[in-house]
């Protein structure tokens, strides 16, 4: 499988813009309901990072915050989240470089590179 290096500045810019949209979206949701901005999962020595993908309800007892998973779809009465520009994307980090499969690079980043030219 062929991998291509991603321009980290462009990736950072995409993520920052999307995270801003998610924070603004969360402000409009009912109290306690959130689209979890960043969710880390560690499994078998790898770390998976999910951005703006899962809905949670949080509760606080004054000392602890507990997150209850609600699913990928917005709960009833909640508007749809902003579209994630990197939905379906997976990255490989190797030797300080961010790599992505060439087919995914062509799908997500090639057009973005043309937009900047």
Confidence band of 22 (pLDDT split at 50, 70, 90): very high
Give the pTM. Answer: 0.75
pLDDT at 111: 61
Alpha-carbon distance values, 10 to 13, 15, 51, 58 (Å) = 5, 9, 17, 32
Rounded CA-CA distance 103/106 in Å is: 5
Return the structure tokens found at 63.
């000392």
pLDDT tens figures, 44-88: 877 777 887 899 998 888 889 898 999 999 999 999 999 888 787
Confidence band of 114 (pLDDT split at 50, 70, 90): very low
Rounded CA-CA distance 74/78 in Å is: 6
**Backbone phi, then psi, for 31, in 5-degree steps?**
-55, 130
């Amino acid at each position: 499988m062929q991998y291509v290096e991603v321009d980290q500045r462009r990736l950072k810019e995409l993520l920052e813009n999307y995270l801003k949209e998610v924070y603004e979206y969360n402000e409009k949701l009912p109290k306690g309901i959130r689209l979890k901005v960043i969710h880390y999962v560690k499994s078998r020595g790898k770390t998976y990072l999910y951005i703006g993908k899962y809905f949670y309800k949080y509760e606080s007892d004054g000392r602890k915050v507990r997150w209850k998973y609600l699913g990928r779809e917005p709960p009833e009465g909640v508007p749809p989240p902003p579209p994630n520009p990197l939905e379906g994307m997976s990255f490989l980090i190797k030797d300080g470089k961010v790599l992505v499969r060439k087919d995914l690079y062509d799908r997500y980043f090639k057009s973005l590179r043309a937009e900047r030219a």
